[in-house]
Structure 1
Amino acid sequence: MKRIQEVIVVEGRYDKNTLSQVVEAAVVTLEGFSIFHNKEKLAFLRRLAKERGLILLTDSDGAGFVIRNYLKGAIPREWVKHAYIPDVAGKERRKRTPGKEGKLGVEGMRPEVLLEALRRSGATFLDEAAEHPKRGGITKGDLYEWGLAGGAGSAEKRKALLKRLDLPEHLTANGMLEALNLLYDRESLARMLQE
């Protein structure tokens, strides 16, 4: 089992149970939208973020992005990493019917998918070498140049790229830019787009 330095923040207890079978890390649940009204928990998350760093791992549905965006505005960005799970159609075993958008959440992801999402976020794996790949340097201008923003058909191109990279479809152009900078460097992404 991989050990992670940062505190991982998930939406609910089933997400925590699933993650606890994959990694050894401190995992804090938000209990869904209750974080919007819980000032004590938000203060606690800020403290954890400052001391150890946070990794936000929410579902890839609209509700998960509402929660993620709220926390992005409430906690200094230099203390937060973002792990994204891919859009996978289905339902969790414990549920009778799929969620509103018909996607699996964190609790329904396979262990290797969760590990890859954490690795791509830049999680600090304590039992691995401290070597981290180079990331970042992608600008909004690059998105325009590559046809991913601002032009005719850019929304379709963004959607296709998000699907290709196993990133959630709900990412805005700015959200996608942030995710791309967390996951790739400019040169490797440009090469990938040419393939």
Structure 2
Amino acid sequence: MDNQISKLRVDIPIAVEGKYDKIKLCSIINGNILTTDGFGIFSDSNKTALIRRIAEPRGIIVLTDSDGAGLVIRNYFKSILPKDKLIHLYTPEIAGKERRKRAPSKAGFLGVEGMEAEMLRKLFEPFAVNSDNSYNIFTNKQQVTKADFFADGLSGGEGSVERRNRLAAALGLPSGLSANALLAAVNMLCGRDEYLRIVNNDC
């Protein structure tokens, strides 16, 4: 099934944790995909310098597993790159384990390599280059704002964490995202109209 899916052209560089994550993405994406080698990047000054350099033109997409280790790696990227150079994508929290592993991860969720190719394709479609060399992500759609989040009880008030988790679940995102991280993800995935529909129905 995976081999039958046409590949997306993504010109923004992509960072994932390990070689099996890279192999998975290479089945659906034509682009520059590099690995952090897990926590290995923390002590690899050459790779850190490379990431800073390749992120200069368009930024870099960071896709890690939806667990504690993935969060640590995301925070490392935040420490080495400006906010406007980081694009964080998230996989949903799906219980299970990859075929090559004897036991599931500590969190019990599938990692990037265990995700269905079609799901990953949909995740990256907004960043694919169209035939006219335009990007889907830059289409004119109204953005959700911090003020919207506050007005809808998703930040700064009692129960906001629970509401954010419900919104995240409706969008296929992991739980526990900060208000800023979830806001950025919402604007990449759906825009204001779809956000309002979900909030009014599910949150």
Q: Output the TM-score relative to the length of structure 1.
A: 0.89
CA shift, 1:188, in A, is: 3.5
Asked if structure 1 preserves the Cα contact closer than 8 Å seen for 2:64 and 2:112, the reply is yes
Aligned mate of 1:68, from 70, 74, 87: 74
- Residue 26 of structure 1: which of 27, 32, 42 is its match? 32
The equivalent of 2:3 in structure 1 is none
Q: Partner residue of 1:100?
A: 106
Q: Tell me which residue corresponds to 1:124.
A: 128
In structure 2, C-alpha distance between the alignment counterparts of 1:126 and 1:54, rounded to whole Å: 19
Q: How far apart, in 2, do the equivalents of 1:53 and 1:42 lie?
A: 14
Cα RMSD of the aligned pairs, angstroms, is 2.0
SS in 2 for 1:33: helix
Give the stretch that moved more between structures: 74-83 or 122-131: 122-131
Match of 1:154 in 2: 160
C-alpha displacement of 1:128: 6.7
Which has the larger displacement, 185-194 or 13-22?
185-194
The answer for unaligned runs of 5 or more in structure 2 is 1-6
CA change 1:71–1:131 in 2 (3 A) is closer
Q: 1-side partners of 2:188 and 2:115: how far apart? A: 21
CA–CA distance in structure 1, aligned partners of residues 45 and 142 of structure 2: 33
Cα offsets for 1:104-140 (capped at 9, x unmatched): 0100001111111112xx4133547626333563222
> Any conservation in 2 of the 1:135–1:182 contact (CA below 8 Å)?
no
Matched, 1:85 2:85: no
Percent identity, aligned pairs only, is 43
Q: Which runs of 4+ in 1 moved over 4 A?
A: 126-129
Q: Contact 1:55 / 1:80 at 8 angstroms: preserved in 2?
A: yes
TM-score w.r.t. structure 2 length?
A: 0.86
How many residues align structurally? 193
